[in-house]
Structure 1
Amino acid sequence: MSERISLSIENGVADVRLVRMDKMNALDDAMFEALIETGERLATEKGIRAVVLSGEGRAFCAGLDMGNFGKMAAPKDGAKKEEGGMLGRLERRTHGIVNRPQHAVWVWRQLPVPVIAAVHGVAYGGGFQVMLGADMRYIAPDTKLSIMEIKWGLVPDMAGTQIMRHLVREDIVRELTYTGRVFTGEEAGRIGFATRVTATPREDALATAREIAGKSPDAIRASKRLLNAAVVAEPAAGLLMESVEQDKLIGSRNQIESVMSNLEKRAANYAD
């Protein structure tokens, strides 16, 4: 993991950085594995209350490493070549509802705590989709972004189609997917991909993460469960889930601490 991603944890905030700087943090097999390994570790790490995901050097992530394109043409793991492509490779679900490349994105969405992507330089193709896996995206105004798969005769297949449709108007998603055109962080803010457009995305993301880390971890985790479920739940199921989560929180240790710390005008002391 250290060859592709660095991880430091301080006061409940996990600072995750892609560190393949010589390749603009492009996605090779080792980077995919590092993203999955780091996400899965943080899912079970005690004391984690928020995560910031960023890229070291000139870019957030330049997308799929060009060296990986050659591997697409050859059968893998006994797959049989058929008319129109490969059978039994990407279709196989290896991590619940997703395959391995999708898991490199979906693992951040499924993390029980909020994740903020701090994006600068470029976020192309797979790198753009990794960014989408976060709860929030802080993007520098001059960042270059692209749903670039069409350039290589491909489709976005790292969970991008399932996340984009909840962030941006459908016709805009279609235009960007069909053309693969490069757009800026400024435009990302206007159309909805950027939560915040800022010249200092990592610094601002860390500040927000620290703010989140100061809130009740029980309520934050329950909020993420509710918001994740709201994407797919029918209203009746979503409304019931709100009530179930609230019943768990009312009168709990951390909920009482939230009330008392506010009434006593002091910093809260939450239990993990």
Structure 2
Amino acid sequence: MTSLAPVLDKDGVRLTVENDLATVTLVNPDKRNAQSPAFWRALVEAGRALPGSVRVVVLRAEGKSFSAGLDRQAFTPEGFEGEPSFVDLGRGPEAELDATIAEYQEAFTWWRRTDLVTVAAVQGHAIGAGFQLALACDLRVVAEDVQFAMRETSLGLVPDLTGTQPLVSLVGYARALEICATGRYVHAEEAERTGLANLVVPREELDAAAKDLAAALLQAPRNAVIETKALLQKAATAKDLDTQRTAERAAQGRRLRDLVGLGE
């Protein structure tokens, strides 16, 4: 990858920007890029730090694993230094717990912005919060050694970092329930077959494949991509065809007016 001065480099997250392409790299390979509240805040900060010129964001990770999920230290009585432990949160006021989880979820939401196309390059383990972070992106390129798993239910919890909606959209309700309830691994072949992965490549080709996909995404005019992404997002929840037809007409009208110089 091109060596660039990072826009952000803290708490296991590094952001670099090259013109209209940004790269977010998880940089704590010794802990298999395990996640923490500080890590989530850094991801939020990365999203806020993106220049307006950025059109595509590639999310990648150093080391053998994309992310092994939540750092188990969160479940110890002491938790993380300077942070409320999950034990204390569970015993605290319900409103405070809800607000804290909402704050954590922000790290997983900005990837869906319509002005960006986000690509996760995933190798090795993507467990729990790691799986949900990959699901937060629009597209996923995975290595042949990828192992997705949603382990929250096995721990007596639920996936709460915005992963349930994209998982069901990609693989369907029944398979999503089975994946979450059993906590089993989903390997590369199944990931590609069920739609979790757009592309499977050898591990040594992962970064190059993600970069090639990013370059292809940058070929189309930006506003056309933005309008198309918004239409596809609406299509997933459209109540009927007429609603989607109306949205398509409005979007195409904006594009045509823009192309002939009559746009706002």
TM-score tier after normalising by the smaller chain length: 0.7 to 0.9
SS in structure 1 at match of 2:109: helix
Match of 1:41 among 23, 29, 49: 49
TM-score for both structures, normalised by structure 1:
0.82
SS in structure 1 at match of 2:126: strand
> Displacement of 1:191 after TM fit?
2.1
Task: For 1:228, give the aligned amino acid.
Answer: Q
SS in structure 2 at match of 1:155: coil
Query: Who is 2:38 aligned against?
Result: 30
Deviations 1:201-245 (A, max 9, x none): 321111111121122011111111111222223233322221111
Task: For 2:128, give the aligned amino acid.
Answer: G
Task: For 1:27, give the aligned amino acid.
Answer: Q
Task: For 2:161, give the aligned amino acid.
Answer: M
Match of 1:156 among 150, 159, 164: 159
TM-score for both structures, normalised by structure 2:
0.85
Give the whole-Å Cα distance in 2 for the aligned partners of 1:88 and 1:127. Answer: 26
Q: What RMSD over aligned residues (CA atoms) do the two structures have, in Å? A: 2.1
Question: Within the alignment, does 1:218 sit opposite 2:218 as a pair?
Answer: no
Query: Who is 1:126 aligned against?
Result: 129
Q: Is 2:37–2:104's contact at 8 Å kept on the other side of the alignment?
A: no
Query: Who is 1:249 aligned against?
Result: 255
> Displacement of 1:151 after TM fit?
2.6
Give the whole-Å Cα distance in 1 for the aligned partners of 2:89 and 2:142. Answer: 38
Give the whole-Å Cα distance in 2 for the aligned partners of 1:67 and 1:175. Answer: 28
Give the whole-Å Cα distance in 2 for the aligned partners of 1:180 and 1:75. Answer: 24
Match of 1:182 among 185, 199, 212: 185
Give the whole-Å Cα distance in 1 for the aligned partners of 2:113 and 2:210. Answer: 19
How many residues end up aligned between the 2 structures?
Answer: 242
> Displacement of 1:182 after TM fit?
1.8
Q: What are the equivalent positions in structure 2 for 1:11-30 lying under 5 Å apart?
A: 11-30=19-38
Question: Within the alignment, does 1:67 sit opposite 2:81 as a pair?
Answer: no
5+ residue gaps in structure 2? 1-7, 77-84
Give the whole-Å Cα distance in 1 for the aligned partners of 2:175 and 2:219. Answer: 36
Query: Who is 1:261 aligned against?
Result: none
> Displacement of 1:2 after TM fit?
0.7
> Displacement of 1:66 after TM fit?
0.9
Q: Is 2:25–2:60's contact at 8 Å kept on the other side of the alignment?
A: yes
Query: Who is 1:205 aligned against?
Result: 210
Give the whole-Å Cα distance in 2 for the aligned partners of 1:193 and 1:34. Answer: 26
Query: Who is 1:88 aligned against?
Result: 95
Q: Is 1:139–1:198's contact at 8 Å kept on the other side of the alignment?
A: yes
Task: For 1:31, give the aligned amino acid.
Answer: F
Give the whole-Å Cα distance in 1 for the aligned partners of 2:67 and 2:89. Answer: 27
> Displacement of 1:90 after TM fit?
4.2
Q: Is 1:138–1:202's contact at 8 Å kept on the other side of the alignment?
A: no
Give the whole-Å Cα distance in 1 for the aligned partners of 2:230 and 2:71. Answer: 33
Question: Within the alignment, does 1:104 sit opposite 2:107 as a pair?
Answer: yes
The structure whose RCO (Cα within 8 Å, separation 6+) is larger is 1
Give the whole-Å Cα distance in 2 for the aligned partners of 1:90 and 1:214. Answer: 44
User: Percent identity between the aligned chains?
Assistant: 33
Give the whole-Å Cα distance in 1 for the aligned partners of 2:114 and 2:24. Answer: 13
Task: For 1:113, give the aligned amino acid.
Answer: L
Query: Who is 2:170 aligned against?
Result: 167
Query: Who is 2:80 aligned against?
Result: none
SS in structure 2 at match of 1:74: helix
- CA gap of 1:90–1:202, structure 2 versus 1, over 3 A, is farther
Query: Who is 1:237 aligned against?
Result: 243
